[in-house]
Amino acid sequence: MRLPPNHPQRYLLSNEIHARPPQELSAPERLSYIAISYEPVLAGLANPATSDLARLCVIWGAPLPTPEVTHFVAEHANLRLKWERHTEFVTFTFSHKGEFERPFENPVIALVNEEWLATLAGKLVVAIHLAVQQNHVFVPDLQEVAAEFDDNYLVGAKVAGGNGIVMTDLKIHADDFGRMLLMDLKLGKRQGGRTVQRLLEIETYRTMALFGLPVAHATAAMLRGAERELAEITSLMAQDSTHDEPALLVRLTRLAATVESEVAANSFRFGASRAYYDLTKRRIAELREERLMGVQTIEEFMDRRLAPAMATCSSAEKRLLDLSERVARASDLLRTRVDIEREQQNQSLLASMNRRAQLQLRLQQTVEGLSIAAITYYVVGLVGYAAKALKEAGVPLSVELVTGASIPFVAGAMWLAVRRLRKHLKVEPESVAAR
């Protein structure tokens, strides 16, 4: 059968749901799990997460991973490694199958090359020792279990339809590792593997979700000052005086830049915390917890301790976005007021220019009248000189009569000439503008 060509991402998307399969686990087995956060890598540079994995493979003599790998499994001397790459961190899960007397003595991490551990390029985010032990007692002795957790307050429940029991104290112990104990009542290998994966993901996603809490506290401190600044600016805007509006606009623009900078810097962290919190709740629901007498369930513990922290993050994010919108509205209002003030100033300026033009026109008309009188005076003088010359030449005429009679004709001619010139100057600019 001939089929159309495959989409370039068909296999990639199809394999995505199988990218991180849980490994099969059965009692007795112990694990040491670490989650490492690495700095963002620039394009073209080697990924330190993959480089750390490659160094361990060289030490173990295992095949080297490819640079684009997101899931990797290797074995060395009854020690198994499961490596996974996530968006913000990578995880190393070391597991060792075999009998043990106490679940957290001589942990699996002690079998890993110490120099390699000390030279990992990233920062440790989560570290957990998890032990899977066979148990046929459906109600364990809490005092005996608590002794394995340094007598700390325990959290746990029956999980996987009652086929297992999980106990933990959700604390970091003296060796920098947390501790989890999974008692295998009737867990199969696959169900046990899925349960272990969910437990490790719950602790990892819980920690990653809490990364937004320090950001929320820092943002809240900034918000208090920004909200006071905005309240002061809006109070000044409500007053009638308008001489400080340009200065207020400068302050408001500076405040808007500060708020938008915080939004750009923290929006990813708040969104990531929200996503990790949703994943944490989903993994807890997948455990299908059943209450053990005298022990708080993981879901109850998270609701009491994690939910308030996430509410703080959501509140800080909402306050930040609300403040951004309020600053934007105040900026629009102040700009509108400044524009209206400028329009009023422009109208006053145009009115003043109109009055000046009218005064200039009147002055021009006055000057034109005086000019006609002056020109008429000089022309009539010339007519008088011409009349005197004709009289001396023997022409019988009265010089005074000719001079006086020429005045209206000369004045009229001068008036017509000035009027014609004015019309010519008025039409010429209009024709030039039309062209």
Q: Is residue 13 part of a domain?
A: no
| Structural domain total, the chain | 3
Let me know whether 278 and 368 are in one domain.
no
pLDDT tens digit string along 250-293? 888 899 999 999 999 999 999 999 999 999 999 999 999 999 88
Let me know whether 262 and 193 are in one domain.
no
Let me know whether 380 and 313 are in one domain.
no
Q: Is residue 344 part of a domain?
A: yes
Q: Is residue 404 part of a domain?
A: yes
Let me know whether 50 and 174 are in one domain.
yes
- Per-residue pLDDT, 154: 93
Let me know whether 151 and 273 are in one domain.
no
3-state secondary structure the chain: CCCCCCCCCHHHHHHHCCCCCCCCCCCCEEEEEEEEECCCCCCCCCCHHHHHHHHHHHHHCCCCCCCCCCEEEEEECCEEEEEEECCCCEEEEEEEECCCCCCCCCCHHHHCCHHHHHCCCCEEEEEEEEEEEECCCCCCCHHHHHHCCCCCCCEEEEECCCCEEEEECCCCCCCCCEEEEEEECCCCHHHHHHHHHHHHHHHHHHHHHHCHHHHHHHHHHHHHHHHHHHHHHHHHHHCCCCCCHHHHHHHHHHHHHHHHHHHHHHHHHHHHHHHHHHHHHHHHHHHCCECCCCCECHHHHHHHHHHHHHHHHHHHHHHHHHHHHHHHHHHHHHHHHHHHHHHHHHHHHHHHHHHHHHHHHHHHHHHHHHHHHHHHHHHHHHHHHHHHHHHHCCCCCCHHHHHHHHHHHHHHHHHHHHHHHHHHHHHHHHHHHHC
pLDDT tens digit string along 206-249? 999 999 999 999 999 899 999 999 998 888 887 766 557 778 88
Regions of the chain short of the pLDDT cut 50: 429, 432-435
Let me know whether 366 and 338 are in one domain.
no
Q: Is residue 16 part of a domain?
A: no
Q: Is residue 204 part of a domain?
A: no
Q: Is residue 15 part of a domain?
A: no
**The last residue of a domain, from among 165, 197, 229:** 197
Let me know whether 37 and 183 are in one domain.
yes
Q: Is residue 6 part of a domain?
A: no
Let me know whether 187 and 275 are in one domain.
no
**The last residue of a domain, from among 316, 348, 380:** 348
Q: Is residue 179 part of a domain?
A: yes
Let me know whether 126 and 60 are in one domain.
yes
- Per-residue pLDDT, 43: 62
Domain extent for 320: 212-348
- Per-residue pLDDT, 431: 52
**The last residue of a domain, from among 197, 228, 253:** 197
Let me know whether 311 and 404 are in one domain.
no
Let me know whether 323 and 386 are in one domain.
no
Let me know whether 287 and 307 are in one domain.
yes
